Amino acid sequence: MRSGYRRLASVLAIVGTMMIAPVAGAVDTPPSTDLPDLSAIRAKIYADRYQDAIVDLEALTTSVKHADLYNLLGFANRKLKRYDEAAKWYKEALYYAPDHRPALEYQGELFIALGDRDAAQANLDLLALFCPQGCIEKDTLAKAIAAAGEHQH
């Protein structure tokens, strides 16, 4: 029972930090309100053309500041096993939108790939807070954590 309270305390501390950070940084780099159509880039990702998508996405980062853009950069880099780059972009996505469910899910999957199940679990706990009625991102990350646990035995 005590470990449950400790985990809840750490999740609440993370959420508190995430909620404060964007406010402080928003003065310097406000998010873009107009996100360009990313359907062509998403098509490249769906076709496993991650490097092509990265080139297009990075070009957009010069003029667009948006969590969806950074999340896609994290995803494409993670799929290419460029974990440091992926981590950087997920952090950026969550800076602009701390409740960005896809970024939390994918960052959790990155944590699993890096062998950090505790960090993945913390992301799952955040998803439970952000979508208490349930959501696909929470379900997908929960399954990935469970599968990672099965592979360790």
Provide the CATH number for the domain around residue 68. Answer: 1.25.40.10
| Pairwise CA distance, residues 117 & 103, whole Å | 16
**Contact yes or no for 67/93 (Cβ under 8 A):** yes
Q: How many domains does the chain fold into?
A: 1
Q: Which pLDDT value is given to residue 153?
A: 52
> What b/e sequence results for 27-44 when a residue is b if at least 16 CB atoms lie within 10 Å of its CB, and e otherwise?
eeeebbeeeeebeebeeb
- Looking at residue 33, its pLDDT comes to 72
pLDDT of residue 1: 44
CA atoms within 13 A on the CB side of 151: 10
pTM of the model: 0.79
- Residue 87's domain comprises 2-152
- pLDDT of 25 reads 37
Task: Spell out the per-residue pLDDT of the chain, length 153, in tens.
Answer: 445 445 544 554 555 444 444 433 334 456 667 789 999 999 999 999 999 999 999 999 999 999 999 999 999 999 999 999 999 999 999 999 999 999 999 999 999 999 999 999 999 999 999 999 999 999 999 999 999 987 665
The pLDDT, as a whole number, for residue 5 is: 46
